[in-house]
Structure 1
Amino acid sequence: MESRYWPLYGLVLTTPRLELRLPDLELLTGLADAAAQGVHDEAAMPFSVPWSDAPPEERGRSVFQYTLGTIAEWRPERWVLSLAVVHQGEPVGVQGLNGTGFAVTREASTGSWLGLAHQGRGLGTEMRAAVLHLAFAGLGARFMTSSAMTDNPASHRVSEKLGYRPDGLETAGVQGRCRTLRRWRLSREDWEERRTVPVRVQGLESCHQLFGLP
């Protein structure tokens, strides 16, 4: 899908096993289905915004609405890029890249979810590696950040594997409870030293203005 009014639809990231792109309505429906089928154990809550604590249909609808909202609310000075992650032709999750004042700070953060049926195969590492390449090699980032609940070891393993360094703790109120998140920070130098996943980026040049870049 291409649009001269919204060239981000032509942005595609490709890794050995995955394709990441802004979802059209058909792909977005598939993502909603993947979310409805479950993204984590019901006894846990890995997100600071507990969107996944809902019945399947409502969970899928929230993914649908949130993704469309990121497009509607996009500004060059504050943006959220929510890319569908496609594996073997099937949408399996979302990899986000978020920037506020990116043109000045050259710093952005990531967030993601992966369908429960597709976890444990290294796809989480590969999809985050894809947007790190986009940020550093494509957009000229200096730093990338991430955070996860302290009781989410899978996310911390991904950060460590990709070269992030610990960056302190923060607290958040989630579902009426005080939760602790561990922050991570990745410099361009550490990314260059640790990157191992080959990533191909297509369609970025026409998107620079939307990211606030010349």
Structure 2
Amino acid sequence: MTENSIWFFLLLLGSVVMVVSYQWGSRRNIRLMREVSRLLEHALRPSDKEYTLLGGVAGFRAEYRRRPFTKIILLLSLLPRQSLLYMPVAWLRRGSDTLEMLFYLEGGVPAEAHIIRRFALKHWMPEIKNPSELQTRQLKREGMEFNILSSGNRKLEGLLMRLLSLLGPENTIHISLTPENNVLYVKLRMVPSRTGSLERAIKKALRRIERGLNLNGR
């Protein structure tokens, strides 16, 4: 076999691998989007819903209407499994698939509080706008380390810690309450093998949110 033939064979093989990986990755992400949208609808029971796809198979943005919240915004961001070349870069930047949930509350949030997962790679950690204005302490749950940043409201800290337990420390990246926009924010690592348990966890967390913030009476 000549050198040109070898290079042609390698080029052909590489093209086949890229096509197969694209098809497999696209199907995998589509399946994940369907599974996650189904579990979210089962868990949150929206009265109205609207979905927008992100980049075809990169995830979706959804807006749910559900009382007693003014709205719930959901953002699913998936690793680019369809792109064999970009996948390692995306993993280094984000580390995993993620699900973000923003619950817009009808009543006011009295103070600010965050629970943030500590990662070995600091760029995986969320950034806070005003960390110097908040009290900071450390928390360890199930071998995972977290930072608690709070304006000192122990009731809100207790609510966030309860949500951390319900959602699972291994899944949680960031939970926060922010008064400037009256939002309870949750960011989770999406592990495909745990979607069933995640639905149950979100249902329990939702009940705790409503009870903890007395939303049902507003």
Same fold (TM over 0.5): no
**Comparing both structures, which one devotes a greater share of its residues to helix?**
2
Which structure exhibits the higher relative contact order, with contacts defined as CA atoms closer than 8 Å and separated by 6 or more residues? 1
TM-score of the two chains, using structure 2 as the length reference: 0.31
